[in-house]
């Protein structure tokens, strides 16, 4: 069997989503943001809601998310994506509104906004990319940084006495009655990618059912900020991040 | 039992050489090429094309969505 006999339209099993634009993502090689963007595009395409979906992008490396997925977008001030999403969703209750936020954006500067959006039970989806660092600004400590983890602002490793403890914000948000679905996933292996896609699909379906706020954390890597190769970063994430941030559903009502 | 052969096409100019597809491939089909693309990245390619089973693992983990996967039954 020659390659030409295999590479034919009728044998296609996977190709780039129609909703991903031709813009080259500005992310570093191997960055988790790219994988999650792809999954959001695929889910929106499969649910047939391209015209009804509005994303709110954050401040952080994914600030330009609106260049990559061909839907309507708004760009929020740092950490304020849940507040902006609240306004959009209340003005357009028939739309599918989601925020896309990093751990600095969501758990640090935007901690109040996410808490209250979850507590109010806004009918939105929140996609939370936890890479345990401020990627965009040069790898500073985030609330999610692990104890002992070296960052540009914790050069000797995060020390609980000086810097406090890693924040499991997802578990905190699950305590609030406005959240209907809270899950933590990853995107490092083919199986994990499939699970994250299913979680995202369920989250958007919850919006259709007007169930409240669905929160999908994806534990990811920032290989540049962590100063590792993409493959080593995935290994470090599995060995260290998953202990503090175990994968799986936390709440599903 | 039906047997399958697979093949992938990499958009080599947009591959960033991150190596994630190479380690995700269960059949060791892929490698980063000795040559580089216009951005200077060692792009992914099928070093052992006969080994590919079309499982799409490589495409699932690719952050830049530059892999297209095909799979055909061996007749
Ligand atoms: C009001 C304000 N304060 C601080 C900054 C600087 N800043 C830009 S991105 C960022 C943190 C981003 O980290 P995260 O949300 O984890 O995103 P990542 O880049 O890791 O994906 C900070 C502090 C800013 N742009 N605006
Ligand atoms: S700095 Fe980190 S989070 Fe930002 S694009 Fe690079 S790897 Fe991704
Ligand atoms: S389709 Fe599967 S076997 Fe073929 S190159 Fe990709 S990961 Fe390897
Ligand atoms: S995962 Fe994608 S970007 Fe990375 S080396 Fe493979 S084809 Fe290139
Ligand atoms: Mg971050």
Q: What is the CA radius of gyration of chain B?
A: 12
- The Cα of B68 is separated from the nearest Cα of chain A by a number of Å equal to 5
Is A132 within a domain?
yes
The dihedral through the CA atoms of B18, B23, B28, B34 has a sign that is positive
- Measured CA to CA in angstroms, residue B33 lies from A64, A135, B40, B45 at distances of 30, 29, 11, 6
For the Cβ of A63 lying below 6 angstroms from any atom of ligand 1, the answer is no
Decide whether any atom of ligand 2 lies within 6 Å of the A234 Cβ: no
Question: Per DSSP, what are the bridge partners of residue A236?
Answer: none
Name the pLDDT band for A82 (thresholds 50, 70, 90): very high
Residue A98 maps to a domain = yes
Placement of tokens 């580089």 in the chain = B36
Of A12, A20, A27, Cβ closest to residue B70: A12
pLDDT at B75: 78
Query: Looking at the domain assignment, is residue A4 inside a domain?
Result: no
Q: Does any domain span residue A174?
A: yes
At a CB cut-off of 8 Å and minimum separation 6, what does A13 contact? B6, B54, B56, B69, B70, B71
In this prediction, residue A1 carries a pLDDT of: 84
**Ligand 2 atom at minimal distance to the Cα of residue A224:** 7
Tokens of A3: 């390659």
Which residue in the set A13, A32, A35 is minimally distant from B70, CB to CB?
A13
Tokens 């052992």, residue?
A: B48
Chain B neighbors of A28, CB-CB under 8 A:
16
The residues facing A100 across adjacent strands are A127
pLDDT, average across residues A22-39: 98
Q: Is the pLDDT of residue B2 over 80?
A: no
Residue A79 counted as domain residue: yes
Which positions in chain A touch B14 (Cβ < 8 Å)? 24
Mean pLDDT of chain A: 98
Asked whether A45 and A21 are in contact (CB, 8 A), the reply is no
Instruction: Please check whether residue A114 lies inside any domain of the structure.
Output: yes
What is the pTM (predicted TM-score) of this model?
0.98
Pocket lined around ligand 3, Cβ cut-off 6 Å:
B 6, 8, 24-25, 27, 29-30, 52-58, 69
Q: What is the spatial distance between Cα A198 and Cα B71, in angstroms, rounded to a whole number?
A: 23
Total count of domains within chain A: 1
Take residue A147 and report the two structure tokens written for it. 């104890």
Domains of chain B by start residue, with CATH: 4-70 (3.30.70.20)
Q: Which domain holds residue A159?
A: 17-252
Interchain proximity B72–A1, CB inside 8 Å? yes
Quickly tell me which residue has 């890597």 as its tokens. A221
- What's the pLDDT tens digit per position in A150-200? 999 999 999 999 999 999 999 999 999 999 999 999 999 999 999 999 999
The CATH number of the domain where A56 resides is what? 3.40.50.970
ipTM for the complex shown: 0.96
Query: Which of B9, B32, B57, B64 is the mutation pick for testing A, counting most A CBs within 10 A?
Result: B64
pLDDT class for B1, splitting at 50, 70, 90? Answer: low
A149: confidence class by pLDDT, cuts 50, 70, 90: very high
Residue A159 lies in a domain: yes
Supply the residue whose CA is at minimum distance from atom 1 of ligand 4.
B62
Q: Is residue A167 part of a domain?
A: yes
A85-132 pLDDT tens trace: 999 999 999 999 999 999 999 999 999 999 999 999 999 999 999 999
Residues 6 or more apart whose CB falls under 8 angstroms from that of A210 comprise A123
* Gap between the Cα atoms of A48 and A45, Å rounded: 5
**C-alpha closest to that of A107 among A77, A76, A83, A128:** A128
Half-sphere exposure in the Cβ direction for A235 (13 Å, CA): 8
């Amino acid at each position: 069997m020659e390659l030409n006999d295999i590479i034919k339209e009728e044998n296609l099993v996977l190709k780039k989503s129609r909703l991903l634009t031709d813009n080259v993502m500005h992310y570093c090689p191997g960055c988790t943001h790219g994988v999650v963007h792809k999954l959001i595009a695929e889910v929106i395409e499969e649910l047939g809601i391209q015209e009804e979906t509005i994303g709110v992008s954050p401040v952080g490396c994914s600030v330009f998310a609106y260049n990559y997925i061909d839907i309507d977008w708004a760009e929020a001030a740092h950490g304020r994506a849940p507040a902006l999403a609240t306004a959009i969703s209340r003005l357009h209750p028939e739309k599918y509104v989601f925020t896309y936020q990093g751990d600095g954006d969501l758990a640090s500067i935007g901690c109040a906004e996410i808490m209250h959006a979850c507590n109010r039970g806004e009918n939105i989806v929140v996609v939370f990319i936890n890479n345990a660092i401020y990627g965009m600004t040069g790898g500073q400590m985030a609330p999610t940084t692990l104890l002992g983890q070296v960052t540009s602002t914790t050069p000797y490793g995060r020390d609980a006495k000086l810097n406090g403890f890693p924040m499991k914000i997802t578990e905190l948000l699950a305590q609030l009655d406005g959240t209907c679905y809270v899950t933590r996933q990853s995107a490092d292996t083919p199986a994990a990618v499939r699970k994250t896609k299913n979680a995202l699909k369920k989250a958007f379906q919850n919006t259709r059912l007007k169930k409240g706020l669905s929160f999908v954390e994806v534990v990811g890597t920032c290989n540049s900020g962590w100063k590792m190769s993409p493959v080593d970063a995935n290994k470090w994430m599995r060995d260290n991040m998953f202990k503090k941030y175990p994968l799986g559903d936390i709440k599903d009502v | 039992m039906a047997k399958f052969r697979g093949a992938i096409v990499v958009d080599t100019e947009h591959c960033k050489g991150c190596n994630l597809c190479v380690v995700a491939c269960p059949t060791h089909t892929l490698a980063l090429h000795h040559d580089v693309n216009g951005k200077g990245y060692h792009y992914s390619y099928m070093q052992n094309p006969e080994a590919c089973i079309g499982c799409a693992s490589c495409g699932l983990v690719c952050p830049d969505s530059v892999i297209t996967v095909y799979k055909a039954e061996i007749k």
